[in-house]
A and B are shown apart, each in its own frame.
Chain A
Amino acid sequence: MKPEKEFWKGTYYLLILKNIKEGRRYGYQIRKALEDFGNPSESTVYDTLKKLEKGGYIKGKWLTDGKRIKKEYELTEKGEELLKALLEEARRLCSYLIGLKE
């Protein structure tokens, strides 16, 4: 077990939702953006995307340009709410870590 990796694992729901909100709509872009945050494997990002999609927090659609296929993600209303809630939790954690009282 690597405690650093374990720490980041729990944050990927929040980080992926935030990245999609910021306009990174493809798996590759999301993974690139997460390189500085524990550098998750493709499987981790893929599994998290799948879980978020299954839970109805993001919506994926497959596109084709006649030659190749790709999957594009967008946040759903439920996803926007989850993002807000998770950001609030993250703020609470940060406040505690830097010694501010709520």
Chain B
Amino acid sequence: MLIPYWPQGVITFLQIVNIIVALLMLINALPKIPLRSSFGYTLSEKGRKYFLRAWRRGSLILGAIVLIVNVFDPILATYVMMIGTIIITVYAMIEGEKGAIMDEVPEVGGVVIKPIGAARYLIYVNLIIALIPIITLILLYPYLPDVLVVHFDLNWKPNGWMNKPGFAASLIISVSMVAFLACWYSYLAWKKPEALLSRKVKDPSKIVLLPILLTVVTAIDALAFIYLIFYNLGARS
């Protein structure tokens, strides 16, 4: 087991989530989900076909792998699920791009989808935001108590606790995952803006909104963890 001190409840929860998602992948129910916030390539007939086909193939393989790994180590299965999902999304995007390029075009012309150069700064911003709580954790780790408050009720009284290694692992995984997503979408807006169009976002000028939104999510996540670190150190203000 990678993180030996995680509470048993968290492991059971991860196991249940893994099994449900892996089974959904195996019966091909999951490929419909990413299309709700579809990538731009699915706006082409052949692009959509190729994107879905790649998603189905990838999901089947990943679903089977996660189910097997889950028997031995649910936490490792979670990592496999997260990294595998990223890999099959990238694979589906490459296939979708190929389909969109090779699709029959009935009409010539249209509005050019321009890359958003400024989106590259969002990558740096997200990396800095993600590093702040991680560095704070590393510097203050020896001073943190063995059991940390991680959740509050409506009256702001603690009602959830976690041990120190579990808290450190949650912080690093959570912050790096949201920061990675924000960086990836910022990169897409910068280099492959067409990928960020969807059935809902058809106006190229609105492409940058998603990376901005994800940057805000990274900032909130980082702030929440920094607050928890200082709360647990006793500096509540």
Among A6-14, A23-31, A77-85, the one that faces the other chain is: A23-31
- Check if A49 is an interface residue, CB within 8 A of chain B: yes
- For residue B100, which residues in chain A have a CB less than 8 angstroms away from its CB? 69-71
- Give the residue of A28, A49, A70 whose beta carbon is less than 8 angstroms from that of B110: A70
B4 to chain A, nearest CB (A): 46
B41 and chain A: residue at smallest CB distance? A69
Among B76-84, B101-109, B154-162, B169-177, the one that faces the other chain is: B101-109
B113 and chain A: residue at smallest CB distance? A62
State the CA gap A8–B108 with chains docked (Å).
Answer: 29
Q: What sequence of 0s and 1s flags, for each residue 99-140 of chain B, a beta carbon within 8 Å of any chain A beta carbon?
A: 011111101111111000000000000000000000000000
Q: Beyond A28-B103, A46-B101, is A69–B47 a contact (Cβ under 8 Å)?
A: yes
Q: Beyond A69-B113, A69-B194, A69-B197, is A64–B43 a contact (Cβ under 8 Å)?
A: yes
- Give the residue of B103, B104, B202 whose beta carbon is less than 8 angstroms from that of A64: B202
Query: Do A70 and B112 touch across chains, with their CB atoms under 8 A apart?
Result: no
- For residue B98, which residues in chain A have a CB less than 8 angstroms away from its CB? 42-43, 46
Q: Beyond A27-B102, A28-B104, A62-B194, is A69–B43 a contact (Cβ under 8 Å)?
A: yes
- For residue A62, which residues in chain B have a CB less than 8 angstroms away from its CB? 40, 112-113, 193-194
- For residue B165, which residues in chain A have a CB less than 8 angstroms away from its CB? none
Query: Do B111 and A71 touch across chains, with their CB atoms under 8 A apart?
Result: no
Query: Do B110 and A63 touch across chains, with their CB atoms under 8 A apart?
Result: yes
Interface residues of A in 54-102 (CB under 8 A from B): 61-71
B119 to chain A, nearest CB (A): 16
State the CA gap A65–B108 with chains docked (Å).
Answer: 9
B101 to chain A, nearest CB (A): 4
- Check if A45 is an interface residue, CB within 8 A of chain B: yes
A56 to chain B, nearest CB (A): 16
Query: Do B43 and A71 touch across chains, with their CB atoms under 8 A apart?
Result: no
Query: Do B113 and A64 touch across chains, with their CB atoms under 8 A apart?
Result: yes
Query: Do B43 and A45 touch across chains, with their CB atoms under 8 A apart?
Result: no
Query: Do B103 and A31 touch across chains, with their CB atoms under 8 A apart?
Result: no
- For residue A65, which residues in chain B have a CB less than 8 angstroms away from its CB? 107, 109-111
Q: What sequence of 0s and 1s flags, for each residue 38-67 of chain B, a beta carbon within 8 Å of any chain A beta carbon?
A: 001101110100000000000000000000
Query: Do A69 and B102 touch across chains, with their CB atoms under 8 A apart?
Result: no
State the CA gap A42–B221 with chains docked (Å).
Answer: 43
B187 to chain A, nearest CB (A): 16
A31 and chain B: residue at smallest CB distance? B102
A53 to chain B, nearest CB (A): 10
Q: Beyond A46-B101, A69-B47, is A63–B113 a contact (Cβ under 8 Å)?
A: yes
Q: Beyond A63-B110, A64-B43, A64-B111, is A45–B202 a contact (Cβ under 8 Å)?
A: no
Q: Enumerate chain A interface residues (CB-CB to B < 8 A).
A: 25-29, 31, 42-43, 45-46, 49, 61-71
Pick 15 A–B contacts, CB within 8 A, sort by A.
A27-B103, A28-B102, A62-B40, A62-B194, A63-B110, A64-B194, A64-B197, A66-B202, A67-B202, A68-B43, A68-B44, A69-B194, A70-B103, A71-B101, A71-B194
